[in-house]
Amino acid sequence: MKVGELSPAEVRRALTGPGLRVATGAFNCRMQSEVGGIAPELARLYTHHELLDDAAFIDFHVKIGASRGLRRWVRPQALFTVDEVSPFTPLPQDQALPMMEWGLNWCISAYSHHLLVLHAASLSRNGRALILPAPPGSGKSTLCAALANRGWRLLSDELTLIDLRDGRLHALARPVNLKNQSIEVIRRFAPEAFLSTPVLDTTKGTVALMAPNAASVQASAEPVWPRWVALPRWRAGAATQLTPMPQGEAFLQLAENAMNYHILGEQGFAALGELVDRAQGFRFEYSDLDEAIALFDRLAEQEGA
Amino acid sequence: MSCLLLQIWLQPDACRQLDERSWDLLVRQARHANLLGRLYFVFEQQGLLEAVHPRARAHMQSAATMAARQHQAMLREARILRDTLAALGLPLILLKGTAYVAAGLPATQGRVFADVDILVPHERLGEVESQLILNGWLSATHDVYDQRYYRQWMHELPAMQHMQRGTALDVHHTILPPTSRLKPDAAKLIAAAIELPGQPGIRVLAPCDMVLHSATHLFHEGEADNLLRDLSDLDLLLRHFGAEAGFWAALVARAEEMDLAGPLRLALRYASLLLATPVPADVRDATGSAQPESLDAIYLRVLMPHHSSSTDRFARLARAALYVRGHWLRMPPHLLAYHLVHKALWPPSEPPRPLDAPPEPQP
């Protein structure tokens, strides 16, 4: 059974009660929220996700708590907890929905050193994955959201998970974080995609979440081999340009964008080495999303032939 | 109060009967007790890793990896600190987790920690502090009250932190605050410390002293956060050293000599009660560790993982009692009253964080 098959009231009851248990690719999550107002949008963001029964192993038991006492009325706050521990300071309550996503990402980066975790978006086409590692502001999430709306399978927009045993990528297929101008860009580019109401004045600016499509969510349990690494950079008016990147440079770029490379030590070094052996590295500059997608489609087709 | 973590700890084989939900609970309890990484080694040693639920195994492996990374960093700090103290002609004496790791003891397994602990002679403390500051170690607290609290009444300097590497350092001059009711002689500990083979200039406490320090620390602690982890350290130390001839007799004698028979009695009691640590019958009799204690009501609660699944409605009260007990043992009543009033009026602002967690993200 999927989240989308529940009535709005059922979602809200689960969320404010025992929790909404969903499979999100490599991890099972139980989401609770005392801020019931996030239920309708959360339900739409996770509409294609499979519900788990009560007996399932849950990786992350997360909860958004609502403020009590005076704070209930005066500038109410939301507090994220994972299994009774709150790893960070509260945020204004209107940020409760993005906070759930940030919190889940925090859980993954804190508790997943059995994987190499990169700060990168990843998508796949015909069973081969494209990794987009990038610092904030490079247009990574926009490109990721655009590709995910044009036939590419979304693995993850923020955290790329690499299996240390075989080097394959695990999917998350969770909502995509869009910021500032990207929100409007994606709205126009893919009017059919569901975007949550933008939340203003977060530390990242204005943010909205985009729901992953059904195909990406349905395939989220299947790992994929990495094939391309492209370091994206959006520049106004730039021509679409894909420039091969030497292996050594690709290695350093990936290491720089890894969340736990320093924790994994030798294992991390070996995993990144294998990754740059398997995947071709590129620098990618663009300003037009349609051209960008056409280029990556061609890359994927050449591979298929 | 049933605690799945303790059941499995005592009988790892029983994990074969666990359903998914129980595996889930086991991981959560172990994480709350900071024992998740060590649990990985428990299963590994019993050849049970294959029987562990894959999701649970991933969490344990993650925690064990984090611990291994911390160990590597701590060993590096130890080598740097050795060179820093060598300039003063002092050997580096490591305490607690750092000592277990440097000495390669079984208590290393999956041990997570927040800081490096070292012991220096009281009369050299000023010199040591200056030398450390010159090498980039700065006091982590700027609170005037805290500074005075540590310097006047405590057995250690206010926590220091390296300005580049961020490592936290506790510099001890003895193992209990000078204001404590018990008065162990730190000079004797320092005199008996042993140099580690192959690591010139790095010393750890002698086996009996290491156990006594671990026991003393555990049963003077006012914060309940890592008590089960610390008890597990004791269990591993006792199992390891207990196999050596003459250890137990020496331990009992040393405890008397150092005024630490009380902490040893409690350590042996709760380690054997909760973790089935083998204690010879004559040692049990000599220390009285088998006798029920009025403290059982507190310790049998606070030693449980701090998770709603393994605590009862008296747990909060027990933790409060532990806090008061910890301070009661460390200071005479007038100081205690003064300190508690101060802490009540100006509570510490930083909430406690999990030891194995990365820093707060910039969302």
pLDDT tens figures, A205-232: 999 999 999 999 999 999 999 999 999 9
Domain boundaries, chain A: 3-111, 115-304
Stretch A90-115: mean pLDDT, rounded? 95
The secondary structure element, H or E, covering residue B287 is helix B281-287
pLDDT at A81: 94
Please tell me the distance in Å from A243's CA to the nearest CA on chain B.
31
In which band, very low, low, confident or very high, does the pLDDT at B35 lie, cut at 50, 70 and 90?
very high
Burial, A50: exposed, middle or buried (Cβ in 10 Å; 0-12, 13-18, 19+)?
Answer: middle
DSSP-derived letter for residue A163 is E
Average pLDDT along chain B: 89
Three-state DSSP state, A85 = strand
Domain boundaries, chain B: 4-345
pLDDT at B356: 55
Cβ–Cβ below 8 Å for A84 and B307: yes
Q: Among the residues of A195-278, which ranges form H helices?
A: 214-218, 247-256, 261-264, 266-278
Cross-strand pairs, A80: A64
pLDDT at B301: 86
In angstroms, the CA A186 to CA A49 distance is 22
CB B193 within 8 A of CB B91: yes
Torsion angle defined by CA atoms of residues B232, B235, B236 and B237, in that order, rounded to the nearest 10 degrees: 120
pLDDT tens digits, one per residue of A39-78: 999 999 999 999 999 999 999 999 999 988 777 788 889 9
Average pLDDT along chain A: 94
First to last CA, chain A: 37
pLDDT tens digits, one per residue of A10-47: 999 999 999 999 999 999 999 999 999 999 999 999 99
Q: Is the dihedral of CA B277, B282, B286, B291 positive or negative?
A: positive
pLDDT tens digits, one per residue of B205-245: 999 999 999 999 998 887 778 899 999 999 999 999 999 99
In angstroms, the CA A207 to CA A102 distance is 12
In which band, very low, low, confident or very high, does the pLDDT at B349 lie, cut at 50, 70 and 90?
low
Torsion angle defined by CA atoms of residues B289, B291, B292 and B298, in that order, rounded to the nearest 10 degrees: -20
- Window 57-86 of B: residues touching A by CB (8 A cutoff) are 58-59, 61-63, 65-66, 68-69, 72
Task: Identify which of B20, B72, B358 has the shortest CB distance to residue A110.
Answer: B358
Q: Return the residue of A nearest to B25 by Cα.
A: A57
Q: For residue B5, give the nearest of B28, B65, B233 by alpha carbon.
A: B28
Please tell me the distance in Å from A221's CA to the nearest CA on chain B.
14
- Window 279-338 of B: residues touching A by CB (8 A cutoff) are 306-308
Strands B137-139 and B160-162: antiparallel
Q: What percent of chain A has pLDDT over 70?
A: 99
Stretch A283-302: mean pLDDT, rounded? 95
Angle at the Cα of B354 (from B353 to B358), degrees rounded to 5? 90
Stretch A157-171: mean pLDDT, rounded? 96
Q: Which residues of chain A have a CB within 8 Å of the CB of B362?
A: 203
Question: Who wins on pLDDT, A135 or A203?
Answer: A203
Stretch A95-119: mean pLDDT, rounded? 96
pLDDT at A159 over 50: yes
Provide the angle, in degrees to the nearest 10, between the axes of the packed helices B261-275 and B247-257.
Answer: 140
Domain boundaries B4-345, CATH class: alpha beta
Asked if B246 has any chain A CB less than 8 Å from its own CB, the reply is no
Output the six-digit token pair for A149.
């709306």
Give the number of other Cβ atoms within 10 Å of residue B161's Cβ. Answer: 17
In which band, very low, low, confident or very high, does the pLDDT at B197 lie, cut at 50, 70 and 90?
very high
Cβ–Cβ below 8 Å for A110 and B56: no
Task: Identify which of A57, A265, A267 has the shortest CB distance to residue B53.
Answer: A57
Question: Who wins on pLDDT, B177 or B171?
Answer: B171
pLDDT tens digits, one per residue of A248-273: 999 999 999 999 999 999 999 999 99
Cross-strand pairs, A301: none
Please tell me the distance in Å from A88's CA to the nearest CA on chain B.
6
pLDDT at B355 over 70: no
Asked if B125 has any chain A CB less than 8 Å from its own CB, the reply is no
Task: Identify which of A56, A98, A113 has the shortest CB distance to residue B20.
Answer: A56
pLDDT at B357: 54
Please state the ipTM of this predicted complex. 0.94
Cross-strand pairs, A61: A30
pLDDT at A304: 65
Asked if A82 has any chain B CB less than 8 Å from its own CB, the reply is no
φ and ψ at B178, to 5 degrees?
Answer: -60, -20
Q: What percent of chain B has pLDDT over 90?
A: 66
pLDDT tens digits, one per residue of B294-343: 888 888 888 888 788 777 778 888 888 888 788 777 777 777 777 777 77
Output the six-digit token pair for A7.
């009535």
Cβ–Cβ below 8 Å for A203 and B351: no
Q: For residue A241, give the nearest of A189, A288, A171, A208 by alpha carbon.
A: A288
Please tell me the distance in Å from B352's CA to the nearest CA on chain A.
9
Asked if B350 has any chain A CB less than 8 Å from its own CB, the reply is no
Cβ–Cβ below 8 Å for A58 and B24: yes
pLDDT at B142 over 90: no
pLDDT tens digits, one per residue of B68-82: 999 999 999 999 999
pLDDT at B183: 85
What is this structure's pTM? 0.91
